[in-house]
Amino acid sequence: AQSVAQPEDQVNVAEGNPLTVKCTYSVSGNPYLFWYVQYPNRGLQFLLKYITGDNLVKGSYGFEAEFNKSQTSFHLKKPSALVSDSALYFCAVRAFRGGSTLGRLYFGRGTQLTVWP
């Protein structure tokens, strides 16, 4: 069974400090991993993804994430947080096995990031 865990409901950081939003996953087969961000009253906006290759992937707005296969993690990071980064962040996984993708995304519960000035 596929699942995603985001162990922190909330992360609070000061502007200018580095931030990390944690995600661990469980899949049968190789994972495709995604981060989405949701601003109030908005839809889910794609930030970045890991499919294959370099374990460190870079995405929109200065965010990056590191795929760690041994720890089954895909933590979202940013070296210097901005107040405008405050939003709800979702980690998601898709499974790939047997030459086909199973298209559905499995989401974590979301982590509310608050960056204070």
Nearest alpha carbon to residue 49 among 7, 90, 84, 80: 90
**The token pair that represents 30 in the structure block:** 């190789």
114 φ, ψ (degrees, to nearest 5) = -120, 125
**What residues between 75 and 104 interact with another protein by CB under 8 A?**
90, 92, 96, 100-104
**Residues in contact with another protein, total (CB under 8 A)?**
25
Does position 61 interact with another protein (CB under 8 A)? The reply is no
In the bound state with another protein, the residue whose beta carbon lies nearer, of 82 and 105, is 105
Q: For residues 70 and 5, what is the distance between their CA atoms, to the nearest angstrom?
A: 16
Tokens of 81: 């947080």
Q: Which stretch binds another protein (CB under 8 A): 12-20, 31-39, 64-72, 79-87?
A: 31-39
Q: 63 φ, ψ to 5°?
A: -80, 150
Piece of 19-27, 64-72, 77-85, 105-113 that binds another protein (CB under 8 A): 105-113
Q: Which residues bind another protein (CB under 8 A)?
A: 32, 34, 36, 41-46, 49, 51, 90, 92, 96, 100-110
